[in-house]
Structure 1
Amino acid sequence: MSHTYSLDYVAQQASAKRTVLRTATARYFLSAAFAGALIALVLAVSMRLGQLFHSNGSPYYAIAYSAFFGTALVAIIVSKTELFTSNVMYMTLGKLTGRVSSGEMLASWSTVYFGNLAGILLFTVVWMQTGGLGDYPADHVASQIAAVKTGAPFMKIFWKGVLCNWIICLAVWLPMKLENEMAKIALVFLLVFAFFFSGFEHSIANMALFSLVVAHAPEALSFADIMHNMLPATLGNIVGGGIGVALLAFMLERHTLSTPAATAQKQADKLNPAIS
């Protein structure tokens, strides 16, 4: 089912997420951990794919690993698990529409953020028992990307984080307006390709990247290097998803929101359909 006007639907989803957070926090955290593991899995495969092209001298290795990474977001959307970057959009809209309090919004963000991290770390431990990324030369694609990400200036990382989650949340929001399932998947892949190929900063994907790099080459990154990237990337993701998509969508579509009375009537109509 498509949602030509998505605001009411997303606000209802935010309310549902709040309920799970409050009544089944462990399940909410586990959902986030599952999403984190999915991100780490797809990123690991993307890095193997990129390294295969790179080691054979192909200049197109970035296209290869960027094109595959959309698999992660599609899997998360289909499994309905919790990813921090899209959770920012949902819970910000929940706050703007009055379904979620500020405290609940922040609690959701933190629970999902650290749940994603837990899933990434667990996946990395298991992945390494299988041999990890295999042969890991000093110039491995993953290490090269990590070096660029941790060596960039703070504000450059921040703005890349803003653009990243603006695109990611659009990749969640826009497909709701489509009917065809293949069109939805294609749109997600194209938008994710846009952010990944551009080198924008996705805080959770960066967690997975740094985890994999440190697992293979512990000397490659220090904790300070990682935090230099993670702090501005996370803040940028919050701004990109919260303001760039959630606030903008609220301003454009708030006239479509159901009033409490209208929502109650819709529910009553479902339970007691009119007899013609």
Structure 2
Amino acid sequence: MKKNIKMFLLAIGAGLAISIGGTVYLSVDNKIIGSLLFAVGLYAIVLNGLFLYTGKVGYLVDQSDKIEYLGLLAITWLGNLAGTWIGAVAVLNTRIQGIRENAVGICETKLADGPLSIFLLAIFCGILMYIAVDGFKEKENPLILFICVSVFILSGFEHCIANMFYFSIAGAWSLKTIVYLIIMTLGNSLGGVLIPSLKKWK
């Protein structure tokens, strides 16, 4: 139980870090600069050992007890949701709450898309997130983090945790939002395990 609580708290921390990245992205007009600055959130996560769902799901392949790891992933996902919600609520109670309008536009685009498109875009994001986190783990070079995050944002790929923040700050929660978030999570998960699965098969 103590381990699960600690993991949940570390996941909340990761959600807050993503909220910071999302906030700066919504605050700047230049998308390229915003996408690069967003990566500060992921950099903070890997430096501090925080738990981000999309950074952890790829390692499911290497686990001997996959059922237990799936439980830990579920805790991480819920902690990320709590962290991004807390981050959004905090921002909405500051003078920079005007960025909510930008979040509304982003969320409208996502929710107007079709489920298959959302799923496929999420797979690509999952692939990039695994490359980013595993690349940093192997080389300890933050450049891979900034490049991968910038690419997934500029490409329009779907990141379930980042979207938790956007949905929260835009006040866009609905049954459809929840369904789409689940689809995004499944896509991110499939993308995240794709490369390690191929490597393990080889």
TM-based fold match above 0.5:
yes
* Residue among 180, 188, 194 paired with 1:237: 188
1:212 to 2:163 alignment: no
CA deviations 1:82-116 (Å, max 9, x no partner) are 0001110123322xxx2xx2320220111000010
* Residue among 87, 98, 106 paired with 1:134: 98
CA deviations 1:56-82 (Å, max 9, x no partner) are xxxxx3223212111111110001100
* Contact kept? 2:27, 2:99, Cα under 8 Å: no
Q: What is residue 87 of structure 1 aligned with on the other side?
A: 56
* Residue among 122, 132, 156 paired with 1:171: 132
Q: CA RMSD in A?
A: 1.7
Greater share of helix: 2
Q: What is residue 38 of structure 1 aligned with on the other side?
A: 17
What runs of 5+ residues in structure 1 fail to find an aligned partner? 1-21, 54-60, 215-220, 253-276
Q: What is residue 251 of structure 1 aligned with on the other side?
A: 201
What runs of 5+ residues in structure 2 fail to find an aligned partner? none
Cα distance in 2, alignment partners of residues 77 and 113 from structure 1: 16
Q: How does 1:40-55 map to 2 (within 5 A)?
A: 40-49=19-28, 53=29
* Equivalent AA in structure 2 for residue 166 of structure 1: I
Q: What is residue 270 of structure 1 aligned with on the other side?
A: none
2:142 aligned counterpart, secondary structure: helix
* Residue among 51, 68, 73 paired with 1:109: 73
Q: What is residue 5 of structure 2 aligned with on the other side?
A: 26
* Equivalent AA in structure 2 for residue 236 of structure 1: G
Aligned length: 202
1:69 aligned counterpart, secondary structure: helix
Cα distance in 2, alignment partners of residues 107 and 26 from structure 1: 13
* Residue among 110, 120, 142 paired with 2:84: 120
Q: What is residue 201 of structure 1 aligned with on the other side?
A: 158
* Contact kept? 1:154, 1:228, Cα under 8 Å: no
1:143 to 2:104 alignment: yes
1:135 CA drift (Å): 6.7
Cα distance in 2, alignment partners of residues 156 and 171 from structure 1: 23
Determine what percentage of the aligned residue pairs are the same residue: 28
* Equivalent AA in structure 1 for residue 110 of structure 2: K
* Contact kept? 1:91, 1:108, Cα under 8 Å: no
Q: What is residue 17 of structure 1 aligned with on the other side?
A: none
1:175 CA drift (Å): 2.8
1:45 aligned counterpart, secondary structure: helix
CA deviations 1:115-158 (Å, max 9, x no partner) are 1011111222222222343375xxx3322211111111001100
Between Structure 1 and Structure 2, whose CA radius of gyration is higher?
1
Q: What is residue 175 of structure 2 aligned with on the other side?
A: 224
Q: What is residue 9 of structure 1 aligned with on the other side?
A: none
Cα distance in 2, alignment partners of residues 67 and 118 from structure 1: 24
Cα distance in 2, alignment partners of residues 23 and 222 from structure 1: 31
Extract structure 1 runs of 4+ deviating beyond 3 A: none
